[in-house]
Structure 1
Amino acid sequence: MAKLGMIAGGLALLLAGTGIGWAASVVTREPPEVASEAQYAEVEATQGEVSASVATVVTVSWPTNRAAVNQASGIVTGVNVRRGDRVNAGDALYRVNERPVIVAKGRVPAFRDLNAGTKGADVQQFSALLKAKGYLRATSRTMTPAVVTAAKAWQRRLGVEPTGVVRRGDVLFVRDLPMRVVLDPKSFRVGAELGGGQAGIDRLGAAPVFTATFGEAQARQVAEDMTIKVTSGSHAWTGRLGAVKAGINNESTARVTGPSGGSLCGKTCNTIPLSGTTRLSGVAEVQAPVSGVVVPVAALASAADGSIAVIGRDGSRIPVTVKARARGMAVVQGLAAGTTVRVPGQ
């Protein structure tokens, strides 16, 4: 029994010694080596330029607005104007049953025949046409004998029977003249039958409308008032973007106007086709070209107070002012070209 006790005591001492050795090893083992400072690359600030642009498709078309509604009935026997032609009071737009339909200025549309004794604003408008054409000395709100006589002379000039009665479909009153007219080619073509009440007599807008379209990623880069350059053949126009509005299919659109908000094409709008929609190429200037000392945007370090600096080769902060940023590069002020700066590693 004494021998067994001595063996057990020896095992206990051995185990205790082993535990002490393991603990000592853990406590005294050196920690793994840790880098004393972050890894970085060194780059040299250089003289250069930064800029950014977005290519886009610009569509252009001429807008139209309702000018009048046809009141003549019969077969169209002639069309006197082409799309976009400028017309004045007294001009014939088309003929129905060989009777010309004349445009005149007036706010009240033709709604009845004008006979001897008829009174109203429509008579005043018609008499103003006769006066402007030299058939009448003064306007009148009544179809007086003088107005009827003038109407007959006017009808003879047009080549129609001089009855002195002005049919409802003889005159189209429009608010403003002169205007550039657009007739619906489906309704107003030789051989077409009219029953009165046809729309499709429109006024061409003063200038075409340009619209830029941007994809989802492009739309995040552009903003209202950015400069955009649009090219059409040998013509190039510089304008600005209007408000960028979200559309369908993750696309956004913006109207394009001239630099001061007027027409983009100015005196060269006659180069834009009067019908249909034309696709042109455009380039929106996200960042105008700025020259100076260029460093990577990643080299810029912001402080808690909002100031910006770059880190020199020796680790010192060099305060700078950012003049422009584009495509990962920045033009800064306060740093000399040739200075080596740190760029943090990944």
Structure 2
Amino acid sequence: MKIRSLILPVVAALIIGAATTWGAVTVLRPTEAAPTSTEFTTVKVLRGEVGSELSLNTVAEWPPIPVGTNRAEGVVTGITVSSGDEVGQGAALYTVNLRPVIIARGEVPAFRAIEAGVTGPDVAQLQQMLTDLKFYRGAIDGSAASGTIAAIRAWQKSNSLEQTGSISAADLIFVPALPARVSLDTALVYRGATLTGGEAVLSGLPAAPTFSIPVTEAQSTQIPGGIAVNITSPDGGMWTGITGAQERDSESATVTVAILGDNGESVCGDGCGQIPANGQSRFPSRIVTVEKVSGLVIPSAALITGADGSPAVVLETGKRVAVTVLASARGMSVVEGVDEGFLVRIPGKRSGQ
């Protein structure tokens, strides 16, 4: 028992001493020299094309602006204008009890009958309409004298109406500007509908619809302002716009990118009539995020940056060559400064390792 108790401490001391000696060797041993070259693969510089685009839907919409109120009472017996039609002075919009409701230019809404002896700006507006329609040649003085009454009767005759010489407020809807594209509220004005007067039935449309593209937050970062958008029109043609301001909706986490026409022109040009006046219309579109550029192409991963921030590549031989980057997209770059067919390094394991 005494011999065994003496052996155990000796063995333990030997183990501890060995461990200490290994630790000293491990810590004090000099580190190995770093590899003289970084592992890499190579790729050949070839001619090609680099570009990028997104395929999304463009939304077109005519934003309506209320411009006119109906004063007629009765049943709608006919609709004489379609949504989006351009109308001018004296155009009939719809009929109530077979009597036409006429549009005319003027800031003052129709609010009373215009007949002999009545004066005011609404009379002047009516005189302007009658002048434009070749029924009146007198002064536009806002006074319904005999010449104005005679013109009213002539106008009534041309519309197959009783020649009373008096125009009711129900006969006219004055709007601020004409000619204009207009839209009727089809929920209120349709054949057989009953009107009681006071309905806001008429909206004016802008000269051109608005265009926008709804995108995600991630997509919005790829779409800077001023880049081209090619929109396929309903007839199969092509409209070209450019991206504008972005509007973010925090609740839905969506971004709306405005699409503008070039030099202040409308996106749809003379083809805007193809777009329905009511609601939103969607058209397939391509957003060119990076214009296509042809030249010598290399993977973008082969590019390195010098201390001065200038780009370069490293040839297979290890020689560093400064380059100019003309375009980059989808992991590839078009460069100048290196010859076609050369092999350039890409950091990574050697082929076959």
Q: Normalising TM by the smaller chain, what interval?
A: 0.7 to 0.9
Structure 1 residue runs of 5 or longer lacking an equivalent are 1-10
- Residue by residue, what CA displacement relative to the aligned partner does 1:219-278 show, whole Å, maximum 9, x if unpaired? 121111111111235212222111122235332221223333422221223333343322
Find the counterpart in structure 1 of residue 274 from structure 2. 271
Query: Structure 2 vs 1, CA of residues 19 and 204 (structure 1 numbering), >3 Å: closer, same or farther?
Result: closer
Instruction: Give the partner amino acid of 1:327.
Output: R
Deviation of 1:24 after TM superposition, in Å, equals: 11
Deviation of 1:163 after TM superposition, in Å, equals: 2.5
Deviation of 1:21 after TM superposition, in Å, equals: 10
Instruction: Give the partner amino acid of 1:26.
Output: V
State the alpha-carbon separation in 2 of the partners of residues 343 and 271 from structure 1.
52
Query: Structure 2 vs 1, CA of residues 46 and 116 (structure 1 numbering), >3 Å: closer, same or farther?
Result: same
Which of 314, 317, 328 is equivalent to 1:314?
A: 317
Partner of 1:186, secondary structure, is coil
Deviation of 1:63 after TM superposition, in Å, equals: 2.9
Deviation of 1:131 after TM superposition, in Å, equals: 2.5
Instruction: Give the partner amino acid of 2:261.
Output: G
Partner of 2:323, secondary structure, is strand
- Residue by residue, what CA displacement relative to the aligned partner does 1:11-67 show, whole Å, maximum 9, x if unpaired? 8xx97xx77994798278675675333211122211211111111111223332222
Structure 1 or 2, whichever has the larger Rg, is: 1
Deviation of 1:199 after TM superposition, in Å, equals: 0.8
Deviation of 1:318 after TM superposition, in Å, equals: 0.8
Find the counterpart in structure 1 of residue 44 from structure 2. 44
- Report which stretch shifted further, 28-37 or 227-236: 28-37
State the alpha-carbon separation in 1 of the partners of residues 131 and 272 from structure 2.
35
State the alpha-carbon separation in 1 of the partners of residues 117 and 293 from structure 2.
76
Alpha-carbon contact 1:184-1:201 (below 8 Å) kept: yes
| Matched positions, count | 336
Find the counterpart in structure 2 of residue 238 from structure 1. 240
State the alpha-carbon separation in 2 of the partners of residues 170 and 281 from structure 1.
44
Within the alignment, does 1:171 sit opposite 2:140 as a pair?
Answer: no
Alpha-carbon contact 1:223-1:244 (below 8 Å) kept: no
Alpha-carbon contact 1:45-1:339 (below 8 Å) kept: yes
Provide the identity percentage.
Answer: 38
Q: How does 1:326-345 map to 2 (within 5 A)?
A: 326-345=329-348
State the alpha-carbon separation in 2 of the partners of residues 90 and 157 from structure 1.
11
Within the alignment, does 1:116 sit opposite 2:116 as a pair?
Answer: yes
TM-score w.r.t. structure 2 length? 0.85
Alpha-carbon contact 2:84-2:273 (below 8 Å) kept: no
Deviation of 1:190 after TM superposition, in Å, equals: 2.3
Alpha-carbon contact 2:183-2:277 (below 8 Å) kept: no
Find the counterpart in structure 2 of residue 62 from structure 1. 62
Partner of 1:147, secondary structure, is helix
Find the counterpart in structure 1 of residue 85 from structure 2. 85
Alpha-carbon contact 1:55-1:281 (below 8 Å) kept: yes
Find the counterpart in structure 2 of residue 301 from structure 1. 304
Q: How does 1:121-270 map to 2 (within 5 A)?
A: 121-138=121-138, 139-232=140-233, 234-247=236-249, 248-270=251-273
Query: Structure 2 vs 1, CA of residues 187 and 30 (structure 1 numbering), >3 Å: closer, same or farther?
Result: closer
Instruction: Give the partner amino acid of 2:336.
Output: Q
State the alpha-carbon separation in 1 of the partners of residues 268 and 205 from structure 2.
16
Deviation of 1:176 after TM superposition, in Å, equals: 1.8
TM-score w.r.t. structure 1 length? 0.87
Query: Structure 2 vs 1, CA of residues 220 and 131 (structure 1 numbering), >3 Å: closer, same or farther?
Result: closer
Alpha-carbon contact 1:83-1:274 (below 8 Å) kept: yes
Alpha-carbon contact 1:152-1:163 (below 8 Å) kept: yes
Find the counterpart in structure 2 of residue 97 from structure 1. 97
Find the counterpart in structure 2 of residue 72 from structure 1. 72
State the alpha-carbon separation in 1 of the partners of residues 54 and 293 from structure 2.
17
State the alpha-carbon separation in 2 of the partners of residues 41 and 165 from structure 1.
92
Alpha-carbon contact 1:49-1:331 (below 8 Å) kept: yes
